[in-house]
Amino acid sequence: MAENTVISIQDVHKTYVLSSKPSFWARITGRTQAEKRLEVLKGVDLDIHRGETVVILGSSGSGKSTLLRCINKLETIEGGRIYVNGHLIGYEEKDGQLVAEKPSLTAKKRTDIGFVFQHFNLFLNKTALGNVMAPLRDVKGLSAADARKKALPNLEMVGLGDRAENFPSRLSGGQKQRVAIARALAMEPSVMLFDEPTSALDPELVGEVLSVIKKIAQQGTTMAIVTHEMQFAREIADRIVIMDQGVIVEQGHPEAIFTNPQHPKTRALLKRSGIVPPQDK
Amino acid sequence: MDFINNTLAVFPALIGAVPVVLQLALGAMALALVLGLLVALARISNFKILRAISTVYVEVLRGTPLLVQLVYIFFVLPSVGVEIEPIPAGILGLGLNYAAYLSEVFRSAILSVEHGQTEAALSLGYTPNKTLWKVVIPQSFVVSMGPIGNYFIAMIKDTALASVIAVTEILKTANILNSQTFQTTAIYTAAALLYLIISLPLSRIVIVLERKARAIG
C-alpha cells in the first residue's frame, strides 16, 4: 500500500440475500424456496490517495452506493479487504478469513470517516447546532462549551451560522444537507464520503450543496463522491471511476473520461446524460 | 340546591385523600416507566431468553385484571411470607401492570425511529449502545409522550381499585364517609367530580405535549 493511500479497497465482494425467509406457502408445503441472491459488488479494487477527490459514476444498480457504504461498514462484505489509513474496517483477519470485529472497534474507526447521506439523516430532535455538537459530545466526549466552540465555525463554513437554533423541520432540504456536512466535518475525519448528496433535493437547492462540497475539496480534504451530477463531477474530480454491474469498468482523469471514453458502458452512461464524446459525433 | 350544598360540604373530607392518589399514581408511574422501558428493550433484544421472559410478562400482566393483581399482591403474597403495606402494594400492583402496557408503547416507538437516524449515528462513530441511548431512545420518547400521558390519566382513575386493598384513597374515604352519614348521592358525586378535577387539566397538558412532539418530528 502506498504511503499516501487513505482508502484501499481490495477485491471486495458483496451479495444481498433478497428473500431469506421462506414464504408462508413454502413453509406449509414444506417446499423450501431457493434464496434469491443479488451480487452487487463482484471484486472491486480502488485506492484513494490523500487529498484526492474521487467521483464514482454509474447507472443505478451499478453498486456505487453500496461500495461507499461498505467503506464505513454500513454494509457487510463477504470477501476482500477495505483499509482506511491502514486499518482494516469492520473485520479482523483470522487465518486469512474475515471475522466481524467488536462493534466498539468499528465505531472508533468510523470517527475517522465522514459520511453524508442522500436523505441527510439529521437528528430530528436536535437543532442545527445540536446536530453538529451531538457527536462531539457523545463520541469525542467534549464539554458542551468546547463542542459549541468547535461546532459553530463548521456551521458558518456551510453558510448556516444564522440557522444554528433551527430544528430540521424548519430547514430546507439544501440547508439540512449542509448541516449534515458540517456535522460530519466537525469530527475532523481524514476522509469524507458523499452518497448521492443532492439526489433528494429540489433542483434549485442542488447548487448550494455542490458549492459547499467544492469548497471542502479545495481545502484538500480526501473525498469519495457518488453522484449523478455529471457537470459537477467533471469540475471537481481528480479522478472519475465508472462502475457497472458491480465492477469498475473504467477510471481516469475527468477530461479523459468525458472526451475520450474507452469502455462502451462509459459511453452509454455519458450519452444518457446528454454528453456525446467527440469520437461518437 | 340541597344536593349541591351537600356535595360541596363533602369535598373537604375527600380532598384529604388526594395526596394518597397522587402518591400512588406518581410512584406507580415511575416504576412503570423504568420497568416498561426495560421490558421493551428485552422484547427487541437479540437474546431469545430475554424475549421469551418479557413476552410472557406482558401477556400475563395484560391478560389478567388489574383488580385481581392487586388482590393477589396484598392478600396472597403474605401467605408466602411477603407482607407489603397497602400503599406500597398499590404502587407495586399498578406499576407492574402499567409497565406491561407502557412496554408496548416504548417498543413500537423505538421501532418507529427511522433507520436513517441509526445509520447517521453509527457513521459518526457512536457505538450500537450509544446509538440506542443517545439517539434512538430520546427520539422514541418524543413519539411516546402522548400515549404515556394518556396512560397516566388512566392510572389516576385506576387508583380507585386500590380501595380494595385498604388504601384510603378517594373511593375508600368516600365509602367510610358513606357508612357514617348515608349521604350516598352527595358523597359519590363529590368523589367522581374530584377525579374529574384531577384528570381534566392533565389531559390538556397531554394535548400540548403531543402538539410539541409533532412540531419536532
How confident is the model at residue A32, as a pLDDT? 62
Q: Say what percent of chain A tops pLDDT 70.
A: 92
Question: Does the beta-carbon distance from A169 to B125 stay under 8 Å?
Answer: no
Tell me the ipTM for this assembly. Answer: 0.90
Q: Are A88 and A21 in contact (CB under 8 A)?
A: no
Judged by phi (left if over 0) then psi (alpha if -120 to 50, else beta), residue A239 lies in: beta
The per-residue pLDDT for A126 is 94
pLDDT at res. A280: 59
Q: Closest partner residue to A138 among B122, B126, B215, by Cβ?
A: B126
For B133, the closest chain A residue by CA position comes to: A138
Tell me if chain A has a CB within 8 Å of the CB of B209: no
Q: Which of A117, A138, A167 sits opposite B216 (nearest CB)?
A: A167
What is the Cα–Cα distance from B211 to B205, expressed in whole angstroms? 10
Question: Using one digit for the tens of pLDDT, what is the confidence trace for A246-260?
Answer: 999 999 999 999 999
Q: B190-215, pLDDT tens digit by residue?
A: 999 999 999 999 999 888 888 877 76
pLDDT at A27: 66
Q: Using the beta-carbon criterion (under 8 Å), do B127 and A113 form an inter-chain contact?
A: no
Q: Which residue reads 453558510 in cell numbers?
A: A159
Within 10 Å of residue A28's Cβ, how many Cβ atoms?
9
Using 70 as the pLDDT threshold, list the residues of chain A that sit under it.
1-2, 19-23, 25-27, 30-35, 277-281
Q: Which amino acid is at A206?
A: V
Beta-carbon separation of A187 and B215 below 8 A: no
Residue A52's nearest CA partner among A241, A261, A250 is A241
Res B72: pLDDT: 95
Please report the pLDDT score of residue A4 as a whole number. 87
DSSP string, A144-194: HHHHHHHHHHHHHHTT-GGGTT--GGGS-HHHHHHHHHHHHHHT--SEEEE
Q: Is the pLDDT of residue B170 over 70?
A: yes
Q: Between chains, do B217 and A124 touch, taking CB under 8 Å as contact?
A: yes
Chain centroid to CA A50: 16
